[in-house]
Structure 1
Amino acid sequence: MKNAFASLLTLALLALVTGCKGGDKDPKAPAGDAAKPEASAPQAGGNALTIKGSDTMVILGQQWAEAFMKANPDQRIQVTGGGSGTGIAALLNGTTEIAMSSRSIKPAEAQQLQTRLKVQARETPVARDGVTFYVHESNPVRALSIDQLQAIYLGDVKNWKEVGGSDARIVVYSRENSSGTYVFVKDEVLKGEDFTSEALTLPGTAAVVNAVAKEKHGIGFGGAAYGKGIRELAVKVGNEEVAPSEANIQSGLYPLSRDLFFYTRGEPSGAAKTFIDFALSPEGQSIVTRVGYFPLKK
């Protein structure tokens, strides 16, 4: 019995010693490392600069990001769309460093940022654009006044023959209400009134262009850079038809000219500032031209 008891006691002591050593754990490792084996590992996307918002600007943002990362291979940038409102909301809740917006920030949004985070929204114009109305290439209409566009998008004019076109029902395409371009058209064309309930809402400018390119009686709107495969309408100003050309948009003669913006929480710093400086540099502004928008005035 004594021998058996001694053997059991020896085995127990060996097990206790082995357990205290921690198996394969390095005895020189600091206490607590075993419980957090990935404590020092960088989190996925943790060092990426996030840019979110305007679908009008998403291609431009991606082009800027690609050029910037090529020159700065250690910097990762994530660019996503969703609409200007979505980008500004992400800025408010801290999930993006830069919000892209094709409209100015609303006073209520700026106040939320001030109240919630105690910082002011910093607005940086980064490019020029002209909101453009698109029609099918076969449509005989070449220009419409703001009043005519308003009547179409309010649903007061439903047939192309009422504005100089063929006898056909107008198929109206619009953007979702989180879009900065939607807000711009509502403010500048509809004068704050609501879009017709017959307007077909699409999730992005590219989708609007694609729809109008396939629907010969359609009309839609979006940024100038997306006007491919369709025809852009001039806007009648008095007796003059003003096209959304670079010269007219740069000068503001085109009545639906606008700036495209970056918004940050206070003055940008670190990677955000470096990226914004790049977007405003001669190289960055040349990308604006290549994408199809217009550089800022020098």
Structure 2
Amino acid sequence: MAMTLVLVSCRAPMQAPTPTPEVVPLYFVASSSTHPLLNDLASAYTRDNALVAIINQTTTGITLKQILMQPQANDVAASYALTTYLPDEMDLWAAALGTDGIAIIGHPALAVSSLTAGQLRAIFSGTAENWRELGGSNQVITVVSREATSPSRQAFDAQVLGLRPTTLRARLATTPGAMLDIVSQTPGAVGYISMALVDQRVSIIAIHETESDPPILPTPQSVASSEYPLRMPILVVGSQEPAPGDGYYEFILWAQQDNGQSIIAARYAPLP
């Protein structure tokens, strides 16, 4: 009698693999001043949105126009940028997240604790060359400025210098860290930086419009109330408006609402 051997598998039938959800990358570029804020926002947002990856790229020496409107001309791939200055001639979509203050910083031993707007203009244009001219000690003023493509430089120039050029004697700092290093290590030095990035190595110089006005230091409160005069908006900008469902829309909306605004309010003035 012929016998047939039948093998029966003990394993369950094979199941079709469950598709792995894809992570949605959101590409942003930040200036050296807004890079820390974008990192803070991205870290908080991605904790609650695990399928989103926010790619934070920092660049110097490249303008917003080159990044967002001429992407083929550079190595930075980004759909939106976080910046503190938007030139009027650039036709870009923009949304506000808050307001930053431009802090005027000096060497820690600097005897001058406040300046008027006119005195600040005289310093950075090169008209004033010695602190003695401004009520300080007999010490040469060393001006420290950001590079021409820096949003902080562009905002500072627009509000303080107008059409006047920065003195040719100015030393250039290409990052906020370099600004802090140069000012803190150079007697008589003065520069500027986002108020959120100031540290204990430098002194902060208060600003008043005229001698009769009280000097004001940059704080989230004084910037929010517009008492502090040197302010710059924190903007998300892009070549087009984001659309619901594209990831960018949801992140920007979150940054404008409670959780995002609480992060911004820690070091900046939040939205009204």
TM-score (norm 1): 0.76
How much has 1:143 moved relative to structure 2?
A: 0.6
Two-structure CA RMSD over aligned residues (Å): 1.8
Show the 5 A alignment for 1:15-54. Answer: 47-54=24-31
Letter in 1 for 2:265: T
- Residues 103-159 of structure 1: CA distance to partner in whole angstroms, max 9, x if unpaired? 12331x32xxxxxxxxxx211111211111101222111111111111111111111
How much has 1:54 moved relative to structure 2?
A: 2.2
Letter in 1 for 2:206: A
- Decide whether aligned partners of structure 1 residues 131 and 83 sit closer, same or farther in structure 2, where only a CA change above 3 A counts: farther
**Residue in structure 2 matched with residue 255 of structure 1 by the alignment:** 229
8 Å contact 1:84–1:103 — kept in the other structure?
A: no
**Residue in structure 1 matched with residue 220 of structure 2 by the alignment:** 246
Larger radius of gyration: 1
How much has 1:235 moved relative to structure 2?
A: 0.8
Distance 2:50 2:185 in 1: 41
Distance 1:139 1:204 in 2: 22
2:28 matches 1:56: no
Distance 2:190 2:181 in 1: 11
2:68 matches 1:91: yes
**Residue in structure 1 matched with residue 85 of structure 2 by the alignment:** 103
Distance 1:86 1:216 in 2: 32
8 Å contact 1:53–1:85 — kept in the other structure?
A: no
2:198 matches 1:227: yes
How much has 1:56 moved relative to structure 2?
A: 1.6
**Residue in structure 2 matched with residue 159 of structure 1 by the alignment:** 130
**Residue in structure 1 matched with residue 9 of structure 2 by the alignment:** none
Work out which of the residue numbers 238, 241, 248 in structure 2 matches 1:267: 241
Distance 2:65 2:259 in 1: 26
Letter in 2 for 1:156: T
Q: Which runs of 5+ in 1 are unaligned?
A: 1-45, 111-120
Which structure exhibits the higher relative contact order, with contacts defined as CA atoms closer than 8 Å and separated by 6 or more residues? Answer: 2
**Residue in structure 1 matched with residue 257 of structure 2 by the alignment:** 281
Distance 2:31 2:231 in 1: 16
**Residue in structure 1 matched with residue 16 of structure 2 by the alignment:** none
Letter in 2 for 1:226: L
8 Å contact 2:242–2:249 — kept in the other structure?
A: yes
How much has 1:233 moved relative to structure 2?
A: 1.1
Distance 1:266 1:219 in 2: 39
TM-score (norm 2): 0.83
Q: Which runs of 5+ in 2 are unaligned?
A: 1-22, 72-76
**Residue in structure 1 matched with residue 46 of structure 2 by the alignment:** 69
Distance 1:223 1:56 in 2: 7
Letter in 1 for 2:205: L
Distance 2:269 2:65 in 1: 23
**Residue in structure 1 matched with residue 209 of structure 2 by the alignment:** 237
**Residue in structure 1 matched with residue 170 of structure 2 by the alignment:** 199
Distance 1:91 1:217 in 2: 39
- Decide whether aligned partners of structure 1 residues 141 and 128 sit closer, same or farther in structure 2, where only a CA change above 3 A counts: same
How much has 1:55 moved relative to structure 2?
A: 1.9
- Residues 225-263 of structure 1: CA distance to partner in whole angstroms, max 9, x if unpaired? 011121211112221212212232112121112211110
Report the structure, 1 or 2, having the larger helix content: 1
